């Protein structure tokens, strides 16, 4: 059981738990919380894929001399992608919360089964 | 009941796929071609110590431009969707308890320090782990602390939106300067590289990241203020 | 891979999955929001163990700081309207 396998398994489990919460709950706020959980799980999976055992973080300081950087650091590209993904995840959460507030202001309930205008 | 069974069946199918992905996975032993290019060329080309910063600002600078645009859109939509409360003090319902002496004095002491920490984090983004997004989030935490201590406080929306727009415009202007004087759009090499590891090194990377940090901090603050100042519809 | 790091990873993972279960299944929304903040914090610890310090800082500041507060602002607004009726 290496670190990468544990982190990948944890990330996948978090995605499944988040999706279950989003599909099962009625309260809009709980659905949004479940989406943030699934988002964290996806980011964890992405970072875990870039890890290599025995190597260190991609910062060239006293521990990593410049000419040996190619042999001592892990893959920096997934980290750059996940940084962007976390920030945009917050933006999406803020948007969802703003819409939840508007929905609540129009119907005074947060139960998603009461919003039936779009059902055929 | 049927809904719950369908949900569990769908999630079980996903779990089977995930287990198959997990069992066939082994971490690499050598860096792949892209990563080894970035790892070996960051110090000579850019002079930055933090490889991730070099990737975000220079090598994949267009992605950062896209992200900054998406954040701007998000802040604008949140401010548009929610009606801003300009209610008088008397109309806001029961006034919350004034925060205690300890909280007020403590927050007045801590807020400048938190702002300073945020500025430190994004100015040193090319030397240590950190950068614009982290520093911006820390600066928004300072605004959050002030907001929690005194919920009736009115922040100046104009100042925050001016900071945000100015930082965004300067970011694009520096990108265009990179087009004129160096390799391409958002190429940070038009300023001198300096000593490796000094504060004023790595070309224009500290400047670009500082502008991103200010912009992100202003955007998060504006999102927080929009959400906390909404007015009930009567 | 030293055993201490592995032990830390197992503990962080257990806390994370426990917090996720509480966030999805609890009755009170405030407890669910706090559990989501705990999940974010444990994910940040796992990011440090996976040698990604930039990502850990970002997740700690944004995920467990700002997201939790956004949720509590909205929850406070919803509760105060429900108490008015």
Query: Are B218 and B168 in contact, with CB atoms under 8 Å apart?
Result: no
Asked whether the predicted pLDDT for residue B93 surpasses 60, the reply is no
Number of domains making up chain B = 1
- pLDDT band (50, 70, 90) for residue C1: low
Is the CATH number of domain A3-53+74-114 1.10.287.3510? yes
* Distance, CA of B48 to CA of A80 (rounded, Å): 15
Task: List chain C residues with CB under 8 Å of A101.
Answer: 74, 77-78
Confidence of residue B92 (pLDDT cuts 50, 70, 90): low
Chain A residue with minimum CA distance to B29: A52
Distance from CA of B105 to the nearest CA of A (A): 30
Between the ranges A107-111, A116-120, C40-44, where is the mean pLDDT highest? C40-44
pLDDT value at residue A15? 95
Let me know: does B49 contact B126? Beta carbons within 8 Å. yes
- Mapping DSSP onto H, E and C, the string for chain B reads CHHHHHHHHHHHHHHHHHHHHHHCCCCCCCCCHHHHHHHHHHHHHHCCCEHHHHHHHHHCHHHHHHHHHHHHHHHHHHHHHCCECCCCHHHHCCCCCCCCHHHHHHHHHHHHHHHHHHHHHHHCCCCCCCCHHHHHHHHHHHHHHHHHHCCCCCCCHHHHHHHHHHHHHHHHHHHHHHHHHCCCCCCCCCCCCCCCCCCCCCCCHHHHHHHHHHHHHHHHHHHHHHHHCECCCC
User: Which residue segment(s) compose the domain that B182 sits in?
Assistant: 64-84+101-228
DSSP assigned state of A111: B
pLDDT of C45 > 90? The answer is yes
Cβ neighbourhood burial of B28 (10 Å; 0-12, 13-18, 19+):
middle
pLDDT tens digit sequence for B116-172: 999 999 888 888 888 889 999 999 999 888 888 877 777 788 888 888 889 989 988
**Kind and range of the H or E element at A101?**
helix A77-107
CA B149 to chain centre: 24
Q: What confidence category does residue B96 fall into, taking pLDDT thresholds of 50, 70 and 90? A: low
Judge contact between A112 and B3, C-beta under 8 A.
no
Predicted TM-score of the model (pTM): 0.89
Residues C44-53 have a mean pLDDT of 93
B128: left (phi over 0), alpha (psi -120 to 50) or beta: beta
Distances (CA, A) of C32 to A22, B115, C29: 13, 30, 5
Is B106 buried (19+), middle (13-18) or exposed (0-12) by CB count in 10 A?
middle
Instruction: Please state, in angstroms and rounded to a whole number, the distance separating the CA atoms of residues C83 and B14.
Output: 41
**Looking at the predicted structure, is the pLDDT value of residue B109 above 50?**
yes
Report the DSSP beta bridge partners of residue B75: none
Q: How far apart are CA B22 and CA A12, in angstroms?
A: 9
Three-class SS of residue A59? Answer: strand
Q: Which residues from A are below 8 Å from B20, CB to CB?
A: none
The mean pLDDT value of chain B amounts to 82
CB contacts of A108 in chain C (<8 Å) are 81-82, 85
Q: What residues make up the domain containing C18?
A: 3-84
CB proximity under 8 Å: A 53-112 to B: 53, 57-61, 66, 69-70, 73-77, 79-80, 83-84, 86-88, 90-92, 94-95, 97-99, 101-102, 105
The verdict on residue B208 lying in a domain is yes
Answer whether residue B192 shows pLDDT above 90. no
What mean pLDDT is reported for chain C? 89
In a domain? residue B156: yes
Instruction: Give the residues across from B50 on adjacent strands.
Output: A59
Mean of the per-residue pLDDT values for chain A?
88
Q: Look at residue A65 and tell me whether its pLDDT is greater than 50.
A: yes
The residue-averaged pLDDT of C30-47 equals: 94
- Are A30 and C29 in contact by the 8 Å Cβ rule? The answer is yes
Four-CA torsion B40, B46, B48, B54, nearest 10 degrees: -80
Report how many domains make up chain C.
1
Check: CB of residue A69 under 8 Å from CB of residue A60. yes
Cross-chain Cβ contact A29/C75 below 8 Å = yes
| Contacts for B14 with CB less than 8 Å, ≥ 6 apart | A15, A16, A19
Cβ distance of A77 and B128 shorter than 8 Å: no
Q: What pLDDT score was predicted for residue B90? A: 43
Token pair of B168 as six digits: 């965004």
B84 DSSP β-pair partners: B230
| Tally of CB atoms within 10 A around B32 | 10
Give the chains touching A; criterion: ≥3 Cβ pairs < 8 Å: B, C
- When CB atoms are compared, the residue of C13, C21, C85 closest to A6 is C13
Whether the predicted pLDDT of A12 surpasses 60: yes
Tell me the nearest-neighbour CA distance from B181 into chain C, angstroms: 30
pLDDT of residue B233: 47
Q: Cα separation of B182 and C38, whole Å?
A: 45
ipTM of the prediction? 0.90
Residues ≥6 apart with Cβ < 8 Å to B25: A4, A5, A8, A49
Closest residue in A to B24 (Cα) is A5
Compare CB distances from C58 to A56, A57, A83 and report the shortest one's residue: A83
For residue B89, pLDDT over 70 is answered with no
Residue B202 lies in a domain: yes
Spell out which residues of chain A touch residue C39, defining contact as CB-CB under 8 Å: 14, 37, 40
- pLDDT per residue as tens digits for the range B28-62: 777 788 888 888 888 787 778 888 988 888 888 88
Which of C54, C66, C84 lies at the smallest CB-CB distance from B137?
A: C66
Distance spanning both ends of chain C, measured CA to CA: 59
B101: phi then psi, degrees, rounded to nearest 5:
-60, -40
Position B10 in a domain: no
Coil, strand or helix: which one is C28?
coil
């Amino acid at each position: 059981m290496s670190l990468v396998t544990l982190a990948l398994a944890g990330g996948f489990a978090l995605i499944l738990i988040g999706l279950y919460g989003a599909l099962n709950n009625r309260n809009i706020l709980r659905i949004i919380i479940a989406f943030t959980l699934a988002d964290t799980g996806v980011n964890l999976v992405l970072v875990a894929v870039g890890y290599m055992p025995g190597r260190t973080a991609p910062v060239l300081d006293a521990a990593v001399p410049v000419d040996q950087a190619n042999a001592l650091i892990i893959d920096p590209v997934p980290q750059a992608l996940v940084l962007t993904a976390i920030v945009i995840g917050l933006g999406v959460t803020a948007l969802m919360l703003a819409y939840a507030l508007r929905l609540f202001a129009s119907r005074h309930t947060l139960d998603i089964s009461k919003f039936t205008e779009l059902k055929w | 009941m049927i809904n719950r069974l369908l949900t569990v069946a769908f999630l079980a199918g996903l779990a089977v796929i995930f287990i198959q992905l997990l069992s066939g996975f082994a971490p690499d032993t050598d860096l792949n071609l892209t990563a080894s290019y970035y790892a070996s060329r960051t110090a000579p080309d850019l002079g930055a110590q933090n490889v991730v910063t070099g990737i975000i600002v220079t090598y994949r600078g267009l992605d950062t431009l896209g992200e900054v645009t998406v954040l701007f859109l998000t802040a604008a939509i949140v401010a548009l969707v929610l009606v801003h409360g300009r209610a008088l003090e008397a109309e806001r319902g029961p006034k919350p308890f004034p925060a205690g002496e300890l909280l007020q004095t403590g927050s007045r002491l801590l807020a400048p320090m938190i702002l300073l920490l945020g500025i430190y984090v994004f100015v040193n983004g090319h030397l240590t782990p950190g950068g614009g997004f982290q520093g911006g989030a820390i600066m928004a935490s300072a605004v959050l602390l002030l907001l929690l201590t005194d919920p009736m406080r009115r922040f100046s929306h104009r100042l925050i939106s001016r900071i945000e727009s100015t930082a965004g415009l300067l970011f694009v202007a520096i990108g265009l300067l990179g087009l004129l004087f160096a390799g391409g759009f958002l190429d940070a090499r038009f300023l001198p590289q300096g000593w490796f590891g000094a504060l004023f090194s790595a070309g224009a990377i500290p400047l670009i990241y500082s502008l991103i940090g200010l912009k992100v901090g202003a955007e998060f603050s504006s999102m927080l203020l929009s959400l906390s100042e909404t007015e009930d519809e009567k | 891979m030293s055993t201490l790091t592995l032990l830390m990873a197992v503990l962080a993972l257990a806390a994370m999955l426990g917090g996720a279960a509480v966030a999805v299944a609890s009755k009170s929304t405030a407890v669910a929001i706090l559990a989501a903040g705990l999940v974010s914090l444990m994910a940040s610890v796992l990011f440090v163990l996976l040698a990604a310090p930039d990502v850990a800082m970002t997740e700690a500041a944004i995920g467990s700081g700002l997201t939790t507060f956004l949720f509590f602002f909205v929850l406070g607004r919803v509760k105060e309207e429900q108490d008015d009726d």
